[in-house]
Structure 1
């Protein structure tokens, strides 16, 4: 079963996000009080623990949730294989996949340390179709 491992937030862009127990996700905006929220196509970022585990195997040991600045850390779902337009029910929310991967910003700490990063190929972005609360452990369902 696919589920939410962590919800992560930051007040500024370009920094590691801090895990929180639950997040309020606002329709057509994103995670309340998160720096990346707003009226655009990348309101929420998701990254699978399975992807993070690949980086751990490459020798980075201190990778906690939020280190890749993802809003939601997932388990049990291959995010980067979901087609753009896929809708996901996560907690009380409905989210639509809008983008797979992204260009890494210059000076990415992880890319500098290991020479590669998973967010550009395996992280995904969604917009909030229906707002609501997401709590650690909530299930993720493909609609």
Structure 2
């Protein structure tokens, strides 16, 4: 499943898989417990494929950050837990993305990225690289 079908919903924990669209919003299925919810268009919803992380030079798509984590962990889950200390999370993230903008990327963002990566990994969603190749071939 592609990141284009994975959603983060403001005020709701975890991630959701887009099931179907309705007239007033859409139906999402939690990757945590499989429960389905109906979400209106008024809710704050982000598609993972549209999220980027600030660096000192540019914005790096979240899929690239996930791929870097996957490469560092040899396809496994992260060595740190999203509830670890702030300094430990920042050190880990610095290894993944050494030029991330420390003024604009907060510890809460790093926690969320690590939590999302592990949640995607638990659900067998670990293919981030093919979408990168498609994007780069479109740009050329």
What is the TM-score when the length of structure 1 is the normalising length?
0.27
Structure with a larger share of its residues in helix: 2
Larger CA Rg, structure 1 vs 2:
2
What is the TM-score when the length of structure 2 is the normalising length?
0.27
Per chain length, whose mean CA-contact separation is higher, i.e. which structure has more relative contact order (CA < 8 Å, sep 6+)? Answer: 1
